[in-house]
Amino acid sequence: MKVQHSTTPHSEKRTDRSFSSQWNSIDWEATIFRVNRLQTRIAKATNNENWNLVKRLTYLLTHSYFAKLLSVRIVTQNRGKRTAGIDRELWTSASDKMQAAINLSEQHYRAYPLRRIYIPKPGKISKRPLSIPTMRDRAMQALYALGLQPVAETTADTRSFGFRLFKCAQDASNYAFRCLWKTTSSPWILEGDIKGCFDNISHSWLKNNILIDKSILSQFLKSGFTLDDKFHSTDIGTPQGGNISPVLANMTLDRIEKLLHEHFPKMKVHLIRYVDDFLVTAPTKEIAAEVRDIIREFLAIRGLELSLEKTLITHIDDGFDFLGWHFRKYKGQLLIKPSEKSIKSISQKLKTTVSNARSWTQNELIKKLNQIIRGWANYHRHIVAKVIFKRLDHYVWELTWQWGKRRHPNKGYK
């Protein structure tokens, strides 16, 4: 009996309907549970410093069908899901997502060049680069980030708050308050800013210190980018816009806290870090300067350096800005308020929105303004912001009154 075997891959025989049905029938609670269980095992092995077991478990996770499903779900539900990479491909349908998960593999994997765009910095004329990977590269980064995240979380600095599980900017401000509010608290602050952190991290340092498949990491780091249809190679840095970049950046900067504890074991020297923005409290100006030199040496090994213009030593009575808030002691009492820079930024955003709304309906304008105001107010609601909220409320009234006056048939002030 002759048996003929088809040379057509099994996935190609299936219809879009069957792929859609398979994606829509996924039990996401069970999928997340399976991935979390593997991540927990990786975290325990990391805590025990059993690095061979960490490697084996990470391999299992990055080759897991459930982790691949979750990776595709992550990149198709985040804010950039409608922004295509260089191949202009988006995964919008259930069939697209299911096929992407099935075909997600490290075998013969080569990353596409990133699509480079520039977006404005809030309240600044200058722009920052944003590198956009293809959907497939994003999913691959998300997959390996799932394996790397348990290691990163287990070894992370305790007072690192940016891009961390169950931590946020408000936690950073609360800890800063705890470090500064007492009369006996350290009064000097080192305001740290790392110059082009994501763009300058040493590739050799990452390859030698990050527990990840080296060939895959090289593809993420060395993919290059296109700008104005020209290809540019990337020899340093990890691109802003990649799913794995925040994890790599945090792991690069971890251990600053331990280093400071070793140098100043009995002093009130505290680190508060949010990715590449950080504060260090110090009892004297001289110790703050010493801390700056220690951190500078730490960063140099990783290919990074402090920004001379933005790294300052400030007394708490003079105040300083951090993460959109202004910290300052008034007659010994610490108050945290929205920074002037943050107030100007929200005011400009509201003004621009109203200016662009000349043809909008009232409901459309109200919906958009509420979205902006709600986000800003929720960010600042835990601090001393009552007076600022009143100012902002009056400013919104003035903007909307002017908007309504222009649209009214009788455009007089009455």
Cα distance between residue 249 and residue 236, in whole Å: 13
221 and 365 belong to one structural domain: no
Both 281 and 360 in one domain: the answer is: no
Q: What is the DSSP letter of 5?
A: P
3-state SS class at 40: helix
Which residue is listed with tokens 């929720």?
378
Query: Residue 105 pLDDT > 70, yes or no?
Result: yes
Do 35 and 144 form a contact (C-beta atoms < 8 A)? no
For residue range 51-98, list pLDDT tens digits in order. Answer: 999 999 999 999 999 999 999 999 999 988 999 999 999 999 999 999
Note whether 368 and 331 are same-domain residues: no
Rounded CA Rg of the chain: 25
In a domain, 4, yes or no: no
- List Cα–Cα distances, 88 to 114, 115, 132, 183, in angstroms: 11, 10, 11, 57
What is the pLDDT, as a whole number, of residue 239? Answer: 84
Question: Parallel, antiparallel, or unpaired: how do β-strands 320-322 and 312-315 relate?
Answer: unpaired
Identify whether residues 135 and 36 lie together within a single domain: yes
Q: Verify that 105 and 119 share a domain, yes or no.
A: yes
- Element holding 62 (H helix, E strand): helix 51-62
Both 287 and 208 in a single domain? no
Same structural domain, 387 and 255: no
219, 212 in Cβ contact below 8 A? no
Q: Which residues contact 40 (CB under 8 A, 6 or more apart)?
A: 150
* Region 157-181 average pLDDT: 96
Q: Given strand 188-193, what is the order of strands in its sheet?
A: 270-274, 277-282, 188-193, 312-315
Whole-model pTM: value is: 0.90
Say whether pLDDT at 409 is over 70: no
- Please tell me the total count of domains within the chain: 3
Asked whether residue 162 is domain-assigned, the answer is no
Q: Are residues 32 and 76 in the same domain?
A: yes
Q: pLDDT of 2-54, one tens digit each?
A: 444 444 455 556 788 999 999 999 999 999 999 999 999 999 999 999 999 99
Q: How confident is the model at residue 186 (pLDDT cuts 50, 70, 90)?
A: very high
Average pLDDT, the chain: 93
Pairing mode, strands 230-232 and 225-227: antiparallel
Model confidence pLDDT, tens digit, residues 268-307: 999 999 999 999 999 999 999 999 999 999 999 999 999 9
